[in-house]
Chain A
């Protein structure tokens, strides 16, 4: 995978993960053009399109478009499954995820993505393992508000985000 973009029906970017080195300007240009192209697609059209020299796989979940650019030898159908798996992970983590969750907790959406994919490829094919790792990593965070109830006041010097 070369990159993954999440954007709303109005074209607002909610997440961008780039697995190839490009300048900020190029990224902006690609994002703008690709978002426009995908938003112009009619609902009856298939989830794949050729764009520049890449294959683009996209799927809409509620108000969010999940869009991946893959290489020519990559399997489009399994990419759809990858996208679906990521949505399932978000769903499990946030409990019935919606766009607002991703807006207000974008850094967590990134953490989950980075636990699922590395360099554009899936690290773990087990939903359970990915979620468990996220959970454990969250426990390491020094500023969880929940901790407030159980531990001494000392820990509250750490500021939540």
Chain B
């Protein structure tokens, strides 16, 4: 059997392969040779064969049959074997395979080897890929090595300990004594790895953090080490571009950050050194900036005095002007993190940030955009919006959606005038219309509706935009909706804000019909335009034309369009007397979103069912002075509408259940009741009425426990009389914590179509202080409002 070919020889050969197939063939041949060599248990060439296997593995070929061989190499006495064996283990084995556990004993032996380089190999492998079981078994050995005076081993043991702690956090305690005097070492390697170890411990355990802060008083020690690094003269061994051991400096700054966070004393103790580093570090090379960056992060995260914070933000401002794009990127990221807390300081750098919108790098542009939006306020809105709209025009498609949403949000919050707001929206719709998010369309419609004095201007502008371009769906949808609503203003030629255009009813209908037939229109858009055409039947005089269009679509293949057309046809034929009322102007709408103040606005007292439109915004409920109008309109129900401070929002149901609307006005003040209270367990019921069906009562149970022991395995069951239907949803948990520390909630839905008095039987089972408890009870004291 000839000797297996050498590693370099194999590499050379494989590289001569001209095709993938050729390469595969060579690899397969060599693998076969290696396999038979392994079978022969050849000690001499095992190392060479495994090395070749590792090369082939890197090329992407399977190498699992070499796993056991790696273990044999590790167990060998020869250093070369061990080196390749451990490398192979790190590359081919991972904790998912059971095989890796066989390594444990070898590693244990090697951790105690007489040669430090062998010990190093073992520590490296354990620290790189040791599983939790291995870490548990070998933690003791690592801890021993952490106490050795050999700095070569000590530094490796420290990082190995970091890995052990990550895998088995409970073992952290055992490393504590050995860590104690690590910081008094002179060796930079040990110092660096020790700081990493301390950082890991602090991040994982708040107790450790406290211990290091108060008992070991680490901060002054770290400050001293850092100071020495900065003040000491040139040290060739650790110098990088004139800075002494930047790696160690950065790690110390990071540990200081953790120690100083939310702690006044520690923060104060590090103030001076932070200021010193911030002002004295050389900024011409990346190393210096890396240290400054870490310093800034630390200053912003601890309880630093304001002067220091301003210094930090100014450093970031200087970074923004740096030629190096990496530095600019890092600056923008950091500013984004601090813009909420130090808003004014960041505002000073606004113009530089806005300039970054023009940067070539995608990541920088994105951050600049996010930051710009964060900096927009009432004072700078006009200027900022100009820049942001310009950015929207020229940016990559991946940004357009976010940018458009950001513009809408900012415009809503800070618009200096309604006209400006509408113009801004128009600009976004026309330049980035296809990227606008779907939910923007209803929001914009609502906004336009509420800007009553701008209706004529808005519809005119939107109409003109439609003439230019019908490909951008959100624009088309908003435009057709507006034309449907305000088409009368459009043809009447009244417009105060700008020169009114002359347009006839037929021209408008041409445009809308064009949308219906165009290939560019989506089904949703077609729905909008059909509805718009229908609405114009009460605003325009060319009713016949509209009737014709509507009847054509009664046989459309698109089900949605067909349904609409059929319903509108019916409106023309059988309910023509209702048509004007149904197609009246929309009232001003209440906003559903939680941001922005909710306003109680004037309504015109007329409500109408919504047109079947999937994106319809909710209707408003009436403030007190309007309530009487509503009652008059409906012939005076004797229901008293209740004025609430938080207005309920609900989608208006198609077909207009006006009575339903009134019914809901009187709800939501059903008082809660105590359903059960015995042996420390109290169950309260709170009520809501489910909409749209007024026959369903939604009861939420809240179970609390005043005893000192938890009630576990808590199960709530309920039964109702035959005329009712009951649905129990999942409980929040099945443990009712002791001493009212929390509660279990569960939702019950009761359907009561016959409006009978609600009664319920409940069964409770739970375990308390080790013994099971069961109880049955009747609940009869439901408030009348819950079932009437």
Write the residues of chain A forming the contact surface with B, with a CB cutoff of 8 angstroms. Answer: 13-16, 18-19, 21-23, 28, 42, 44-50, 73, 75-78, 80-82, 103-104, 106-107, 110-111, 114-115, 118-119, 121-129, 133, 136-137, 140-143, 158-161
Contact = CB atoms under 8 A, between A and B. Distances in A.
A78 B329 contact: no
B247 interface: yes
Chain A interface mostly: mixed
Nearest to B84: A107
B294 A125 contact: no
Interface stretch (B282-290, B454-462, B567-575, B715-723): B282-290
Contact of B240 (A44, A81, A115): A81
Given A45-B360, A159-B3, A77 B330 contact: yes
Contacts of A15: 58
Contacts of B326: 46-48, 76-77, 80
Contacts of B250: 75, 78
B94 A22 contact: yes
Interface residues of B, number: 76
B379 to A, nearest CB: 31
A4 B11 CA distance: 22
Nearest to B55: A106
A73 B87 CA distance: 29
B96 A141 contact: no
A37 to B, nearest CB: 12
Contact of A125 (B48, B188, B363): B188
Contacts of A49: 363
A161 B254 CA distance: 43
B238 A125 contact: yes
Given A21-B129, A161-B51, A142 B329 contact: no
A129 B8 CA distance: 28
Interface stretch (B155-163, B556-564, B746-754, B778-786): B155-163
A142 B290 contact: no
B160 A118 contact: yes
Contacts of B189: 123-126, 129
B711 to A, nearest CB: 40
Given A77-B286, A106-B58, A118-B159, A46 B329 contact: yes
24 contacts: A16-B58, A23-B96, A46-B364, A48-B363, A76-B330, A77-B286, A77-B289, A77-B326, A77-B330, A104-B12, A115-B120, A119-B163, A121-B162, A122-B247, A123-B189, A123-B193, A125-B188, A133-B120, A137-B117, A137-B120, A141-B83, A161-B6, A161-B48, A161-B84
B290 A75 contact: yes
Nearest to A133: B152
B154 to A, nearest CB: 10
A119 B130 CA distance: 10
Contact of A123 (B58, B117, B156, B363): B156
A103 B247 CA distance: 29
A64 to B, nearest CB: 14
A28 B61 CA distance: 11
Contacts of B11: 103-104
A78 B247 contact: yes
Given A44-B361, A104-B8, A125-B188, A77 B83 contact: no
B80 A107 contact: no
Contact of B192 (A16, A103, A122): A122
B329 A140 contact: no
B79 A140 contact: yes
A19 B15 CA distance: 29
A24 to B, nearest CB: 8
Interface of B: 3, 6-8, 11-12, 15, 44-45, 47-48, 51, 54-55, 58-60, 78-80, 83-84, 87, 90-91, 94-96, 115, 117, 120, 123-124, 127-129, 131, 152, 155-156, 159-160, 162-163, 188-189, 192-193, 196, 237-238, 240, 245-248, 250, 254, 286-287, 289-290, 293-294, 297, 325-330, 360-364
Nearest to A47: B326
Nearest to A157: B44
A46 B169 CA distance: 37
Contacts of B59: 13
Contacts of A143: 80
B195 to A, nearest CB: 10
A151 to B, nearest CB: 16
B238 A45 contact: no
Contacts of B162: 119, 121
A18 B325 CA distance: 28
Contacts of B94: 21-23
Contact of B248 (A21, A125, A136): A125
Contacts of B128: 19, 114, 118-119
A15 B58 CA distance: 7
Contacts of B60: 13, 28
Nearest to B288: A77
Nearest to A126: B237
Contacts of B290: 75, 77-78, 80-81
Contacts of B58: 13-16, 106
A10 to B, nearest CB: 13
A125 B79 CA distance: 26
A118 B188 contact: no
B196 to A, nearest CB: 5
A51 to B, nearest CB: 11
Contacts of B44: 159
A118 B127 contact: yes
Nearest to B324: A46
Nearest to A19: B128
Given A21-B96, A141-B79, A159-B48, A126 B163 contact: no
A113 to B, nearest CB: 10
Interface centre among A21, A114, A121, A128 (most CB of B within 10 A): A121
A78 B80 contact: no
Nearest to B86: A114
Interface centre among A48, A78, A107, A128 (most CB of B within 10 A): A78
Contacts of A75: 250, 254, 290, 293-294, 297
A132 B360 CA distance: 43
Contacts of B254: 73, 75
Contact of A119 (B159, B238, B287): B159
B94 to A, nearest CB: 5
Contacts of A50: 363
Contact of A124 (B155, B160, B360): B155
Contact of B247 (A76, A81, A104, A136): A81
B87 A111 contact: yes
B613 to A, nearest CB: 39
Contacts of B294: 75, 78
Contact of B325 (A14, A45, A118, A126): A45
A47 B324 CA distance: 10
B310 to A, nearest CB: 22
Contacts of A73: 254
